[in-house]
Chains A and B, each alone.
Chain A
Amino acid sequence: MTTWPESQGTSTSLETVDMTINVGPQHPATHGVFRMVLTVDGELVKDCEPYIGYLHRGLEKLTENADYRQAMGWWDRTDYLAGMCCEGAYVMAVEKLAGIEVPERAEYIRVLMMELSRINSHFMFLGAFGADVGSFGTSFTYGWRERERIYDLFEEVAGDRMFPTYFKVGGVTMDLPENFETRCRDILSSIRQGLEDFDGLLTGNEVFVERCRDLNPVTPEQAIAWGFTGPMLRATGLGWDIRKAEPYSIYERLNFDIPTGKQGDVFDRYWVRLSEMYQSARIVEQCLDEMPSGRVLNPDLPKTLRIDEGELYLPTEGTKGEYGVYLMAQGGTNAYRAKLRSPSFSNLSALRELVVGNYVADAIVILGSLDIVLGEVDK
C-alpha cells in the first residue's frame, strides 16, 4: 500500500492496494497458451507468477510407446515455427545411438534445411516482437512475406509446409528437385531484401530503439545461473554457440560468425537474432556451393530398427537456444526414455526475476524478447 503524498495538495491521504491482473491463457500476443498473474502497484510490477502446462501433450510418454522412426512426427511439432530443426536434432540422436552413418550429400541437405528453418523462425520472432512493441500489423506482414516464400520452397522439396518429416534415420527421404539451386538463390536474395526492410522498419525507428535500449540488462553470470542459452546468452556478451563449441554434422567445415551483444538488454536480444539471420544465409550459400553429389540415404538400413543398451544426450543449437535430446535404449524397437531439453523452458523459468520492477507495458516487451514457443515449453 502506498499513500499519496501530502505535498500533492489533498487534505486526505490516498491509500492504494496492489492489483492482481491475470494475463490469461488466451491473449492477443501470439505466444501461445501461457498464463501469468501480475501483481501491480499502479503500473509497476511487484510480482509475476508464470503458469505453464496448458499445452502439455505428452511427447515423452508417446515416444516410449512408438517406434524410433514413428516418434519423429511428435518431435517436429515441439518447436512448431522451425519444424526441421527439431527433426534434425532427434534424427541425429537416434543415428548416434544406433551407430548409423549418413551420406555426405544428406548432411549438406540437412544443414541447408535447418538453417532455412532457423531463418523462418526468426522472421516470426521479428514479426511478433514488432507487434508487441507497437507496430501491430506492419511487422507481421513484412515477416510473413518471406516466410511464405520459404514455405513454398519446403513444399517443392519435401511435400509439406511446416512438418514435412523429410529427415529419415540414415539420410533424407528424397533428393532435391532439379531447379532447387536457382530457386534457393532467388529466395536468399529476397531474404536479404526482407532483412533490410526490417532493419529500416524497426532499428531505424526512434521509438522502437528508445523503448528497447537499456531495458532489462542481464549480466553473463546471471544468465548462466538462470540457465539461458542461445540468443539470450549471446546478447549478454558470451559468444557461445553449440555449432562452434560442440559441433555436430558438418558445421566444422562452414565459415560463419557468432554475433554477440553488449549488455543483454532487449535491444541486444533483437539485434543478435537479426544478425544471426545474415549468418544463416551465409551458411545456406556455402551449402549450395559445396554440395557434393551422391546418394541421400544410407543403403544398409535395417527393416526394423532395434537398438541395444545405450543412452546419450545430444545438444544441438535450436532456434531459441540449446535444444537437447536425451535418449535411453534398452533393447527393442521403442526408446525406454526420451527427454527433450527445451530452451524456452529454461529461458522462461527466469521470468519473475526479469519482469519484477518494470512497468506492465515493458513486461509484455520482455516476454516477447524471450522468444518462447509453447510447444517446447510444455512438451
Chain B
Amino acid sequence: MSTKTSPDSGNIKTAELIRTQLPNIPFEISETKTYADLKIEPENFLSLVDGLNKNDALSFDLLRNIVAIDMGEAGLWAKYHFYSFVHGHGIQVTVPAKSTDLTIPSITKTYPTANWHEREAAEMVGLKFQGHPDPRNLLLEEDLDIHPLRKAHPLQKPEILQGIEDGPPGVEQ
C-alpha cells in the first residue's frame, strides 16, 4: 500500500496562507491531486509573483516548471510551479493568456531560470511573453514558425514499406 495516494490537505493550507499574506490580489483557489492551484489573470500576475518571492512567510525561491497548454475553446494557458526551500511548501499558479493578443508578462527578472522555460513554452504553443529578453526558438529551428503542441498540428504517417507507395501486397489501402 503506497503512502501518498490521497491528495494532501497540507497544500490547501499553503494556498490559504498566500491569501492571508497577499490579500489585495484576486485569485481563485482549487485543488489538484498534489499541489493547490491559484488561478489568476495576466494583469495581476506580476504582482503575485513579486509577492510570492519577496514575502518572508512565503519566500518561494525556486521556479520549477512552466507548462503551456492549448485548451481549445478556452485559449492558451500557462501553469507555473514554485517551491520554497525555507518553508518546504509548493504551489501551482495557472494563468490564462490575454484573450486579445495571447501574451503573458515574463518573469525572467525575478526568476532567471524562467528564460529557457518561457522560450520553450512560446514556441510549442504560440504564447508570447512580454518583456522576455531573448524570444527565439529553442528546440525547433530558428527560422520555423510552427507550434507542434497545438491540438490542430498534425502527426506524420508512418511509412509501412519504404519506396512502395501502395503498401504490402494483399492489404487494402
Binding site for B on A (CB under 8 A): 52-53, 56, 58, 60-61, 65, 95-97, 99-104, 107, 224-227, 229, 238, 240, 245-250, 252, 310-315, 322, 324, 326, 328, 336-337, 339, 341, 345-346, 349-350, 378-379
Contact = CB atoms under 8 A, between A and B. Distances in A.
Given A227-B113, A240-B85, A322-B64, A313 B92 contact: yes
B17 interface: no
B32 A312 contact: yes
Interface in B15-70: 32-35, 37, 61-65, 67, 69
5 contacts: A58-B148, A95-B2, A313-B65, A326-B67, A337-B69
Contacts of B85: 224, 238, 240
A58 B147 CA distance: 12
Given A313-B81, A379-B139, A324 B33 contact: no
Interface in B67-123: 67, 69, 79, 81, 85, 88, 90, 92, 111-113, 115-117
A312 B7 CA distance: 10
Given A99-B5, A101-B2, A224-B85, A53 B140 contact: yes
Chain B, interface SS category:
loop
Contact of B112 (A56, A65, A100, A225): A225
Interface residues of B, number: 39
Contact of A107 (B2, B62, B92, B137): B2
A52 B139 contact: yes
- Pairs A-B, 3 closest by C-beta atoms: A227-B113, A312-B33, A53-B139
B1 interface: yes
Given A102-B2, A346-B113, A314 B34 contact: yes
Contact of B61 (A224, A229, A315): A224
B1 A339 contact: no
Contacts of B34: 96, 312-314
A295 B78 CA distance: 41
Contact of A345 (B5, B88, B111, B116): B116
A339 B79 CA distance: 11
A2 B153 CA distance: 51
B33 A310 contact: yes
A62 B17 CA distance: 38
Nearest to A242: B83
B64 A103 contact: no
A348 to B, nearest CB: 8
B160 interface: no
Contacts of B90: 246, 315
